[in-house]
Structure 1
């Protein structure tokens, strides 16, 4: 039996590369979408944890609201921003000392010892609560394809009763 060879073979060179490119585009879009949604949910959950850490630190030691405050640094797990969440920095954390009625004391005590003196003279100027909140934070996607995910991170606020505020005297 004799084989007949045709001069007109179908051209299949590169077809696998084109098919792979189409599938890879879909696959990588899906993969990066899953990563972006995971990071978005991580940030949503982490803002709760950051405010709790900062509030807990602020009730046991006297801290200021500066970006180098020990409460803010500890809330960010020792870094300048949240790990895997550069959107949350110390400037997004707001620490407030409040009276039992929820107002900022006037005049504001300069130290924990001054707060004790204010508490002894009456509850009006005594710090009873610490409120920590995350302000002005927005999620920024790592991959430019997902810019529609650039959404504000919901405000998170934690209020705790003040403890010693670092008073040792």
Structure 2
């Protein structure tokens, strides 16, 4: 019985010589598409992360602008707050993102932009603060790392106009008042 058992099992699986290396060839054909898809997913994740940071940046600008006096110093301080984690004009988290990519406006009760909010008559009219990304040629465009333009997609993508409107808060009011309090 043990002899029968030994003869019934195959010793080696025989492959024809023409099949050698087929797996390597198949992998070589599929690997570029697989890697391109993985890199595309990573790039899409980068784009979503950037969009989230841009929304947060506009929110921080508007929030800071509600707390500072609306003169040049206060406006610059508010715009700097949008460059998350930076003390210069460029954001360390978003490549090529500067204070020039954010618009800051002070609005009256009707939502009309106030021309020079640092003057005392206009200061009293401020009811809302608006911050949004600049659109058009001067707007922020996300740059893809992967060469998706080979598939017919653009290499850059303009970001949407993230906009935040917040009600005024202290606008620089302190215990000693503001430059407009007399």
- Please give the TM-score of this superposition, normalised by the length of structure 1: 0.71
Question: 1:21 and 1:71, CA in 2 relative to 1: closer, same or farther beyond 3 A?
Answer: farther
Aligned to 2:133: 134
8 Å contact kept, 2:59–2:164:
yes
Following superposition, the deviation at residue 131 of structure 1 comes to 0.5
The whole-number CA distance in structure 2 between the counterparts of 1:46 and 1:30 is 24
The whole-number CA distance in structure 2 between the counterparts of 1:56 and 1:20 is 53
Secondary structure, counterpart of 1:51 in structure 2: helix
Following superposition, the deviation at residue 76 of structure 1 comes to 2.0
Secondary structure, counterpart of 1:158 in structure 2: strand
Runs (5+) with no aligned partner, structure 1: 1-8, 120-125
Matches for 1:45-60 after TM superposition, within 5 Å = 45-60=52-67
Aligned to 1:26: 33
8 Å contact kept, 2:107–2:126:
yes
Q: Structure 1 residue 88 and structure 2 residue 97: aligned?
A: yes
Q: Structure 1 residue 163 and structure 2 residue 169: aligned?
A: yes
Q: Which has the larger radius of gyration?
A: 2
Secondary structure, counterpart of 1:133 in structure 2: strand
Aligned residues: 148
Aligned to 1:3: none
Runs (5+) with no aligned partner, structure 2: 1-16, 178-182
Q: Which runs of 4+ in 1 moved over 4 A?
A: 9-12, 14-20, 63-66
CA displacement, residues 109-142 of structure 1 (integer Å, 9 cap, x when unaligned): 436xx368x52xxxxxx11111000112222111
- CA-based RMSD of the aligned residues comes to 3.0
The whole-number CA distance in structure 2 between the counterparts of 1:74 and 1:162 is 17
The whole-number CA distance in structure 1 between the counterparts of 2:53 and 2:80 is 15
